[in-house]
Amino acid sequence: MKKILIMGFVVISFSAFAQNAKPAAFGKVIIDNENVKVTSMESNPGKDICGLGKHSHGAHLTVLLTDANITITSPDGKVTSQKAVAGTTFWSEPETHTVVNSGTSLIKAQIIEYKKKK
C-alpha cells in the first residue's frame, strides 16, 4: 500500500511539473505553439546531447549556440566525429542516432521543429 501511495505521488508530481515547466524528452521546451516547438539543449563533455542514447527526431532545424565537438553513431554503427562553431545552423531530415559531446566544454543548442498546418 505504501508503494502505491508513493507511486501515485510521483505520477501526480510529475504531471504537475510537466504542465508548468514543459520539459522535453531531453532539454527544455522554450516555445511550443501551433506553429513551432523550440527546445533548448545543453550537454556536458562525455554526455548525450539531443536525446538519451539511441533516439529519433522528426525533421528539424538545429542552431548551435556554442562551439561543438560531437560524435554521432548511426543505427548501423557508423561513427562520425564533427566540429562546428557557434552560430552553425543546419537542417536535418528525420533520423535515428546517438550524439555525444566529445569536446571539453559545455555545448548549447536549440532544436526547432516546424509543425505542419492542417
pLDDT in tens, 10-55: 333 333 333 343 344 568 999 999 999 999 999 999 998 887 888 8
- In this prediction the pTM is 0.73
The contacts of residue 30 (CB under 8 Å, 6+ apart) are 38, 39, 40, 110
CATH of domain 25-114: 2.60.120.10
Q: Give the three-state DSSP class for 7.
A: helix
User: For residue 69, what pLDDT is reported?
Assistant: 96
Please compute the mean of the pLDDT values over residues 77-105 and round it to a whole number. 94
